[in-house]
Chain A
Amino acid sequence: MNEILQLLVYGLVLGSVLAMGAIGVSMIFGILRFAHFAHGDFMTLGAYLGLAFIAAFGLGAWWALPAAMLGMAIVAVGIDQLIYRRLRRTQPVILLISSFGMALILRSLVQLIWGSDNQTYVSGIQFPWRLDWLGGLRLKPDHAWIVLISAGLIVAVHLFLSRTRLGKAMRAMSDNMDLARISGIPAERVIMMTWIIGGALAAAAGVFLGIDTRLHPMMGWTTLLPVFAAAILGGIGRPYGAIVGGMVIGLSMEMSTLLISASYKPAVAFAIMVLMLIVRPQGIFKGTL
């Protein structure tokens, strides 16, 4: 029982990370109609930008989060303006190829600047809280923060999408591009906002991963497949679905370690994704694919 509770906590932490990535993937798909393959490496670069910031100013680990989110939002908009914007007039699949190339460019940049070794935000071990009222469950403060902060970010995204003009415009563009354009929605501004949110959330996912475990140039790439699985599960193009998808995939991946070897965790995400593609390819919340 205790073990299951413990895995539940790990599952929620991983689910929060995946949801942060999957919201961005889903939004970018909804607006620009392509699967953004550099999203995993957005996470990686975000995590390292946070590391550079706290190292430069000698701050605590959690300061990496705002710095990374701000930095990655700028980088994402920059990449879009420099490369993706020029490819938008062609088929969306050209953007897909370009993003795949961008993934490798970002990863090799991270390797060039920060090297290929494991790095951490803070050295040393964090002592977990022991929750006796929950059967002696051990909860790391960092894990609690990861889940709480992602919940806060999710609420912020929700408020943006439902309460602001730009957020509503974004939903309109995602639902029907042509109709949105003829009703005078500023497409370029919506696209820029999509990259700001997508980049910032990817950076948050990266920092969470870095705080939970360590930083490594491959950290984002290995998380990309579960992120895509979460986006597809929730219905790609549906940010709310991505949150549910992230939680389901995260919990399943951690729970699967009760039954099979932990090295097959990514395979669990993949299996759920394939099952979903066969049974209900539009996802739980009828996506736009």
Chain B
Amino acid sequence: MELAGITGYLISFLTFTGIYAVLVLGLNSQWGFTGQFNIGIAGFFAVGAYTSAILTTPGSPAYLGGFGMPFVAGLAGAVLASVIVGLAIGLITARLRTDYLAIATIGIAEMIRLFIKNEDWLTNGVRGIAGIARPLAGTPLDTPLGYLLIVAVFVVLAYFLVERAYVSPWGRVLRAIRENEPATAAAGKSIARFRLQAFVLGSALMGLGGGLYAHFFGFLSPEAFKPLYGTFIIWVMLIAGGSGNNRGALLGALIVWGVWTGTELATGLLPSHYATQGAALRVLLIGVLLQVILLTRPQGLLPEKPPKLIAKRPH
């Protein structure tokens, strides 16, 4: 591969990493901070991606859309739509044990995928939506590098948002809920309300990630939102990086996406009639990687730091 090819590959790799980083940060505010188990990330991801695609594409008789709105409006719509879905799920499950949330979220993710697949009038079904506009079209920055910069801006924004949330009194309540729910309730905090807020914040970021994905890839189909790519790999990223630690979340996104694309290169060397086996082998490796992390280093590469003790006392 000549130099241009390598640079192009690297830019695409980093763009994907950035999009996943936004999703992992969203999951961190749900699982890492609050201990809420969302395994329907793919659903929020899909809602965000499709909302943005429908809002920004030019008209088409095949599916709803043709609003031709600008990129920023598409992303705002993506965030709004996932917030609405997140509110609905959160309201149902906020009072319940975390296992219920797990089952409800995987259910909603599968329902959303089923809906996207079957409702042609809205999403063009399995044929998918093509020709999603690139945000910088018509400017000299309309290159992969330009889009990487946009993604980077959003990663930085998302990082500062969740980092600020983490250290704020609000974030402290979330961690208190995670560590000891009855004690937090006894301190007069409304567990259900804080949980709902954290869940919606995470959903919003997942919707944003979906919107960024749609405009990067330019084409959407229901296949992209299977539990594997949409949910599982994001969980492995967060757990490998260190749940509860936002820098860990970013590192996890980079490393796991690196491993994932690395194995793609490796299995690409296999003869073509082993292609499906190669894909299964990669999933197997990621699954084993997760088990190894859980067994040997469950706190992740960058564990969450315990809060500083307040030692200074007025004399």
Chain A interface, number of residues (Cβ within 8 angstroms): 44
The segment from B137-145, B195-203, B277-285 that touches chain A is B277-285
Query: Which residues of chain A from 83 to 114 have any CB-CB distance to chain B below 8 Å in the complex?
Result: 83, 86-87, 90, 93-94, 96-98, 100-102, 104-105, 107-109, 111-112
Contact A228 B277 (CB under 8 A): no
Q: A228-B103, A274-B107 are in contact. Are A98 and B286 (CB under 8 A)?
A: no
Chain B residues closer than 8 Å to A109, beta-carbon distance: 280, 284
Q: A87-B294, A98-B294, A264-B114 are in contact. Are A116 and B100 (CB under 8 A)?
A: no
Given contacts A93-B37, A93-B98, A108 and B284 within 8 Å (CB-CB)? yes
CA distance A112 to B274 in the complex (A): 10
The B interface is mostly helix, strand or loop, or mixed, namely helix
Is the pair B103, A232 in contact by a Cβ cutoff of 8 Å? yes
Are A102 and B291 touching (Cβ within 8 A)? Answer: yes
Contact A266 B110, CB 8 Å, known A97-B290, A115-B276, A289-B99: yes
Q: Are B92 and A274 in contact (CB under 8 A)?
A: yes
Contact A225 B288 (CB under 8 A): no
A207 in the interface (beta carbon within 8 A): no
How many angstroms from the CA of A218 to the CA of B100 in the assembled complex?
Answer: 23
B232 within 8 A of A: yes
From B114, B283, B294, give the contact of A94 (CB < 8 A). Answer: B294
Beta-carbon contact of B111 and A108 below 8 Å: no
A144 within 8 A of B: no
Interface residue tally for chain B (C-beta within 8 Å):
43
Q: Does A278 contact B (CB under 8 A)?
A: yes
A275 to B, closest residue via Cβ: B92
**A261 interface residue (CB < 8 Å to B):** yes
Q: How far is the CA of A100 from the CA of B105 in the complex (A)?
A: 13
In the assembly, what is the distance between CA of A53 and CA of B277, in Å? 22
- Residues of chain B within 8 A of A267, CB atoms compared: 111, 114
The chain A residue with its CB closest to the CB of B106 is A225
Which of A90, A263, A266, A270 is most buried by chain B, counting CB atoms within 10 A of its CB?
A: A270
Closest partner residue, chain A, to B117 (CB atom): A263
Q: A90-B298, A100-B39, A108-B283 are in contact. Are A225 and B291 (CB under 8 A)?
A: no
Judged by a CB distance under 8 angstroms, whether B152 is at the interface is no
Residues of A within 8 A of B277 (CB): 111-112, 115
Q: 5 closest A-B pairs (Cβ-Cβ)?
A: A111-B280, A105-B287, A101-B290, A108-B280, A108-B283
* 26 contacting pairs across A/B (C-beta < 8 A): A35-B103, A87-B295, A93-B35, A93-B99, A96-B37, A96-B102, A100-B232, A101-B287, A101-B290, A105-B288, A107-B283, A108-B281, A108-B283, A108-B284, A109-B280, A111-B279, A225-B106, A228-B103, A228-B107, A229-B107, A261-B118, A263-B114, A264-B118, A266-B110, A267-B114, A277-B100
